[in-house]
Every structure is written in C-alpha cells, then in structure tokens.
A and B are shown apart, each in its own frame.
Chain A
Amino acid sequence: MNEHDARAAVHAAIGAVAPDVDLDAVNEDARLRQDLELDSLDFLRLVETIDTATGVDIPERDYPAVATVKGLIGYLAAHG
C-alpha cells in the first residue's frame, strides 16, 4: 500500500472511532493515546477497523510502533 492510501485508511479509521477529531488540524506526530485521547478500547477498535478495511492485522507486540498517527501510516504503508 502506498503512503497516500495508508493515510486515507488511517484517517477513515480514526474518523470512525473518534468522529470528533478534526484530522485536518492534527499534526501527524500526534500520539493516539495522549493527544487524541483514545483509550485502550478505542485503540482496539481502531486496530480492528484498520484490519477490516485493509487486511493489515497489527499484532500487539507492534503497538509501540503505531502509537502516533505518523507511525500508524508508516506501518500500514510498509505492511499493507
């Protein structure tokens, strides 16, 4: 998956889990937990939504790599 598609998938997934987040205004260095205030259940839903939409299942051991918006996009681009 190229970065453009990965970004679109991440934006769609965050939009579904946290519709109040205005992604256009979010810096991609934003941390999902601390800055976007996703709790562990939100995060699980995010991972699940991405899995459903892209087929990329992020295992738990890789969670630290996807802690930011940018990290998540990069992960999808590399694994999708």
Chain B
Amino acid sequence: MTIASSSPPTRRPRAREDGGDGRLAAVFIAPALLGFLVFLLWPTLRGIYLSFTRFNLLTPAKWVGLDNYDRMVHDPIFWSSLKVTVEYVLINIGIQTVTALAVAVLLQRLTQSALLRGIVLTPYLMSNVVAGIVWLWILDTQLGIGNEIIGGLGFDHIPFLADKTWAIPTIALINVWRHVGYTALLLFAGLQAIPGDMYEAAKVDGASEWRMFWRITMPLLRPVLAVVLIMTVIGSFQVFDTVAVTTAGGPANATNVLQYYIYGSAFGRFQFGYASAMSVALLIVLSAITFLQYRLTRAGQTDLG
C-alpha cells in the first residue's frame, strides 16, 4: 500500500516542442478570463476609484477624497439600511437553510423520485420579479386573495408588505419560497456523495434516523453545507428585485435594503460616487463574512476518507 502510493511516476510526460497544450488552454481560458477582467475586475477597480469622487455619470468625475465615506458614516439611512439587510439575511438564510436541509434529507432518505425533485425546484424557475409581483397581488392588504382567505377565516387582514413590522419577514419568506428548492437540490447533491454503507452500518448497530442525521449526515455534509451557506448568504445580502417590485423600500425606509439604497442613490439621484462608496462597504462586509464563514465551517476540508 505505502509502496504503491509513494512510488514515483514511471515517466514524466516530455514537454512537446510545439509548446504543448498551453496555447490551446489559453484559448479555452480566454473567454472566461476576458469576462472576469471586463465584467468583474475592471468594474470593481473603477467602482473603488469612483467611491472617492463626486460623479453623476454624465459629467467627469471630481476627486473628493474621503468625503463619501465621511457622509456614509454619518448617514442614518445607510445604517438603517444595513440593519434592515442583516435582519433580512438572518430570517431568509435561517429559515431557508433549515427547510432546504429538511427537504434534502427527506428526498434522500424517503424517495428517489425525480418528479418530486422537479416539483421542489419549480418556484426557482420563475424570475424574482414575477414571483415578487405575484406575491404582491396575493398579499395585498385590501384585495389580495391571501388576505381574502384570512378574512374569510374570521381574522383581520394582515398588511404583509405595507406594514413596517411585517414587510421584511414577508419579503424574506417570499425569497425562501423561491430559493428553497434550489438550495435543497444543492444539499441533496451533497448527500448523494455520502456512502450508503455508512447508513447501513449504523442501522446494523441500531441507530435511529435522528441519530444518523446528527452523527453521519451533518458531519459529512458540512463542507457542502458551508459552501451553500456562503453562496446563499452572499446572494441574500444582495437582495434587490423582490424589494423593488413589492415595497420600493417603504413604508418609511422599513425595507430600504442596502442594495436598494445603493441603486436609488445611483440611478435615482445620480450620486454615483456615494453609491460606489456604499458598494465598497458592502464588498468589505461580504468579504469579511465569507472569510469568517470559510474559517469557522472549515469549508475546504472534508471528514470523508
């Protein structure tokens, strides 16, 4: 065993005279690299530069140093936006992850039906904007069918999207509804990678489903769960479209999430410098959270093998 694994490769592939696969590799990488440079790296760098300027897009940018950051630190709407966003992320990710995990485990342990898996994914096939508008109609305080049902059951209508306490949880749940199937599918794929004989061995030892979940599923799913969490948290922090079509940040900034505030500052008020500064702040927050998550969940390591 040890001998086999430590024995050196019998022959190193000789470098070919025509330069090998390098050039062909470059061709294959080029589209992605070009996309990365043009649509990611350059805009990021330019955004960071613009955050130090006063810029309305139509006239040349004017260097103002740290003015935008100074304004941001003293802007109560920025801080309330950040708070609202965090509140949204906590509700959205909390409920979404637990539900998705439950659905994924049920899919793995109970049924292998492709039809069921398809049904679970259906809401994800809808665009965020369409989902937002449909829920806006369903949940309308006065005329929505959802509230008509609540009224028919003898309760008062609930202003789901029009009241400051209800609005953020409602938007968070709308997005849970849309994304839970997709998240469940990612987790389900992770579960498929857990060898079935582990469950068989546990069963022989008389372990309950509950115990198997905590002792086998959770530890072995951890790396996948961590990556899914990192992805969904980043996506969640960038919530925009659902807010834009359902509440437009109202009532009284109660749902003015950071992305929406940034958008409004840039494309509503043409303050691209200030919007860039807030985007940089969001970038820093997201980088920090991702780094922490990565470290805390040891997403790069697996307990398998």
Q: Do A and B assemble together?
A: no
Q: Which residues of B contact A (CB under 8 A)?
A: none
Q: Which residues of A contact B (CB under 8 A)?
A: none
